[in-house]
Structure 1
């Protein structure tokens, strides 16, 4: 019987993510009223902000009507409008909780949140029962479903009314036993820009299991009109954007400017829109170039954006787009070194070939190796600290490019005195092509990500290992 006047409370069950809720129901001689889903109050009570897009009602005439056990690739908020049901939920997701069973009675004063992949079933205990459920995706023939027989001996649900005595559809009677069930796989992580230096580092760290999907520019063009329809996005938990236009000088040309805005803004905005619409966590890698480099001291995550050149402007605009996604991590980094051509490899090559370089000595920052960025991404996704911006660079004292070049020469057995420091202005004085303005100070404060428990590698240790 419906219980009136109780407080809103949320309780965990034996199935991870399956949450049962007691709902306040207010009644008098005229009937009763309840808030079936009140986002603000229910999130505060501990329910997830699952973003329902559809509301369904199943009306059942007779006592004993039995339906299920169905597991779908979306979340449900299940309640009863009238009547009473006995519900049985079985975890049909891949993982250690596969096959776990939870049962409970629901009436208008009690509801349950059913996460993606948990099998849902019920048996009506009163006539004229209306079973209501909100879902956060639309039905699709392409979605992956899983089913379990109501009479499965392993789950051994203790139905109040024997199954032989109740109304069940022929389809539900034909569902497989637990040993033959195809489990619902976990949501996937998509790495965009998988062929770049950060993309390759992420693949090396995360591996090639079915949980991870990697796409380069050839497989996935974020700027193409078909991009929003290129995937069934509700099957993805996370998108990691490792793609970017990074040719800072070429971005100052008319063609480069268009390419930079397309990749760093238009494509990122498309990603942000898809992520926001589908409850996806978006991880985006940003740059020290969003600042002008005039600050006296390290830049924090809260410092206002103030980019100098086209590249920095596009990265700043991309950051703004990503910040609109409810679940986002913006990783701001500097002086990235990974596989492929880069400053460290260039200096090592010059040292080996006997060339004595002139290197800028009035820009300060820290090297950041892609292995550290990849590890930082994994750390944030595992620990799930507050969403927002996190600075991430290598650990250690800031250096100039000239000091880094000297370190490369020393580490490769050459005389560091062969490196000559020059000002940025002198270095580019003879340039005939457009040159992007560089921030003089690229030092980022990494205390915020450090407070989450992440410790990047010391720069010199990473440099030595990289050169070896």
Structure 2
């Protein structure tokens, strides 16, 4: 058998990839690298993380199996003999019903994505083929299979051995025609922290996702993910966190912050490790000490208080996952109690506030954070950390408060400035970074440029915040 070069060939079914495998033979027989993760992923094959290896042996020519679409990816290759393979896209979407056929021998393999129906007809006696899958078989998973009849007239597969002469199972004979097939739905996105400011914005940006609040997934619980079936998801967005910055400095608050922000995230990482799930985790400017004019994604952590320490620890945990986006933001404003709404209320009630003027940064509106997360999941740039705030010059809290007064029709001069030290004098409060400005070059290089904070603030207040 002449050795081929390892190569991949795209097919007319999205994600279905045919591979040529080098087979090295001599007077004793032959050898091949049936699955070689490093080489194959370098050629563009998905790093699908197989966890189970199955072998199908067929003693007679004409044994025909399928058409089965399973809820996992699989990598199929021939150990001995030859097969005719037919694949039909049974996934929900525009390629539903698309057909691809090919002959496979020891020098050929195929990657079959989740939801693409596969069937095989042996062309030689004593044929065996091997398939790797990236999920463990279970009776529950079998209930998610989608099937198509081998004789379906729409698919019109030209079987080398007529089906009336082929060996088939009774179950395969009973499978439905294409018109009666229920397409396999794609895996979904799970959002944790559904009822927070960002969670509510994500509901609008990603209405098709599944949303769970603290009553369903409590990161402080001993087993927070007991009710979650991660096999249904390809993405988890963590918008949940303990965020009571000042209370975190107390004995009770410190324990709660670490339980939710670190132990809970450790359990999330353990639950999804090796599953191929992409985790989006929301981080904070509090992982820095505020001594730099602007922070990039690669700057070293230097948290000042307990909350910042727990967020830095969580970032380090999430960064160990192969598929992760850490979205670092600051000064979050959305649908809920926040600084802007407080200032607007004070202005309306005739109260003239003294506002901190030595902390500078940018507001991050949840509408823009949610849009940025959606962009990352659609564009799929390199995994890692991305700063995400609104654009524009850094401002102090006092400057922002004055603009809120002005935009709501009040005298901006009613806002006076004060230092952080003076504002918190005599109060139990967490240390704050004095500069929270995050550089946006990295995310903007992916094609996402958020609104300026000034424009976002004006729009927010115009909506009646």
| 1:232 corresponds to which of 223, 229, 232 | 229
- Deviation by residue 1:174-231 (Cα, 9 ceiling, x = unmatched): 1000001111100000000001000000001111x3xx10000101223444445533
Is contact 1:74-1:234 (8 Å) kept?
no
Alignment of 1:68-467 (within 5 A): 68-143=66-141, 144-207=144-207, 209=208, 212-295=209-292, 297-431=293-427, 434-467=428-461
SS of the residue 2:274 aligns to: helix
- Give the drift of 1:270: 1.4
SS of the residue 1:86 aligns to: strand
Is contact 1:223-1:270 (8 Å) kept?
no
Q: Distance in 1 between matches of 2:85 and 2:280?
A: 38
- Deviation by residue 1:393-450 (Cα, 9 ceiling, x = unmatched): 111100000000000000011111111100000001132xx21000011000000000
SS of the residue 2:273 aligns to: helix
Matched, 1:44 2:38: no
- Deviation by residue 1:337-379 (Cα, 9 ceiling, x = unmatched): 0111110011011111111101000011000100000000000
SS of the residue 1:304 aligns to: coil
Q: Structure 1 length as normaliser, TM-score?
A: 0.97
Is contact 1:331-1:390 (8 Å) kept?
yes
- Give the drift of 1:140: 2.1
- Give the drift of 1:234: 2.2
Is contact 1:4-1:109 (8 Å) kept?
no
SS of the residue 2:140 aligns to: coil
Number of residues paired by the alignment?
460
**Greater alpha carbon shift after TM alignment, 271-280 vs 320-329:** 271-280
- Deviation by residue 1:302-340 (Cα, 9 ceiling, x = unmatched): 001110100000000000010011000000011000111
Taking structure 1 as reference, are residues 58 and 229 closer, same or farther at Cα in structure 2, changes over 3 Å only?
A: farther
Q: Distance in 1 between matches of 2:440 and 2:140?
A: 44
Alignment of 1:23-34 (within 5 A): 23-34=21-32
Q: Distance in 2 between matches of 1:182 and 1:92?
A: 8
SS of the residue 2:358 aligns to: coil
Q: Structure 2 length as normaliser, TM-score?
A: 0.98
Q: Distance in 1 between matches of 2:222 and 2:350?
A: 50
| Residue of structure 1 equivalent to 2:15 | 17
SS of the residue 1:460 aligns to: helix
Taking structure 1 as reference, are residues 225 and 68 closer, same or farther at Cα in structure 2, changes over 3 Å only?
A: farther
Taking structure 1 as reference, are residues 350 and 227 closer, same or farther at Cα in structure 2, changes over 3 Å only?
A: closer
Q: Distance in 2 between matches of 1:422 and 1:256?
A: 28
SS of the residue 2:413 aligns to: helix
- Deviation by residue 1:63-85 (Cα, 9 ceiling, x = unmatched): 00000000010000000000000
**Greater alpha carbon shift after TM alignment, 7-16 vs 230-239:** 230-239
Is contact 2:326-2:384 (8 Å) kept?
yes
SS of the residue 1:278 aligns to: coil
Q: Distance in 2 between matches of 1:466 and 1:205?
A: 16
SS of the residue 1:68 aligns to: strand
Is contact 1:64-1:124 (8 Å) kept?
yes
- Deviation by residue 1:152-192 (Cα, 9 ceiling, x = unmatched): 00000000000000110011011000001111100000000
Backbone CA RMSD of aligned residues: 1.0
**Greater alpha carbon shift after TM alignment, 233-242 vs 102-111:** 233-242
- Give the drift of 1:277: 2.6
Gaps of 5+ in 2: none
Q: Distance in 2 between matches of 1:256 and 1:225?
A: 17
- Give the drift of 1:142: 2.1
SS of the residue 1:259 aligns to: helix
